[in-house]
Amino acid sequence: MLKKLLVLLAALILGGTASAQVNLKDTTIGMAMFYATYSYQFPGGGLAKLYGGNSSIGGGFQYKLRSNWVIGAEGNFLFGGTIKNSDSLIKMIADDQGLIIDENGYMAGINYYERGWSVYGKFGKIFPMYPTLAPNRNCGLTVMLGGGYIQDHIKIHNPDGTTPQINDDYGKGYDRLNSGIAVTASLGYLFMSNSRLLNFYAGFEFIQAWTKSRRQYDFDLQAYDNTKYSSQFYGLKVSWFVPIYARKPKDFYYY
């Protein structure tokens, strides 16, 4: 079924672009757009008690209609290196100085990271700024809304792998895995050159997430964490686009 859907989508894209070759500068057109994206995000709300700033890298697909409405989907990998109050996570297995002794009797080196992912369906509208601030009518001020799912956890890493207290299933008791639904809104500027060589987006993105714990038991709390988190992410976002459309052939004159 997935293969059939991909074949149908490719046929629609190729068929739509081949049926009418156009000059991007002359008019608004429908086009497919693949893109890679990066964001730096600042947390707020419930998850701000666990994490500092994080990065998000991913990619997506959009289809722009001739009316400049846009629909698409996006997926991201979340990562960060700032975990707040990390010592309290392992207080049940640490000594008086907050250190873990490994299986060889040495102090274990422990690193903490934020990890996660998100997926969204999106739609929005491009408001052309041609000819003052855009080279054509297919780019300009862009507003996008969406909804989807988000998940994150704390990765507790021992480079030597000599701490059975936090390895494998034991580590799940400390990682604060949580997930839930999320909505997103963004405002920015989309630039699309007439030559198809330079196509990018830069703007601000806001994410509101409602998540809860997905673990059966938290060792540091010695209980099930039934907290429902209402969290926000405020991000600066940049994207690089690869548009797919048929270019209008150059005119040839014979004398």
Give pLDDT tens digits for 213-252. Answer: 999 888 888 888 888 999 999 999 999 999 998 765 444 4
Enumerate domains of the chain plus CATH numbers. Answer: 2-244 (2.40.160.20)
The model's pLDDT over 122-169, given as tens digits with 9 standing for 90+, comes to 999 999 999 999 999 999 999 999 999 999 999 998 888 888 888 888
What are the respective helix, strand and coil percentages of the chain, to the nearest 5?
15, 50, 35
- For residues 113 and 146, is the Cβ–Cβ distance under 8 A? no
Tell me how far CA of residue 22 lies from CA of 44, 88, 198, 249, in angstroms: 45, 61, 18, 8
More confident residue, 80 or 227: 80
For residue 62, which of 40, 37, 41 has the smallest C-alpha distance? Answer: 37
Q: What is the pTM of this model?
A: 0.84
The residues with which 55 forms a beta bridge, in sequence order, are: 40, 79
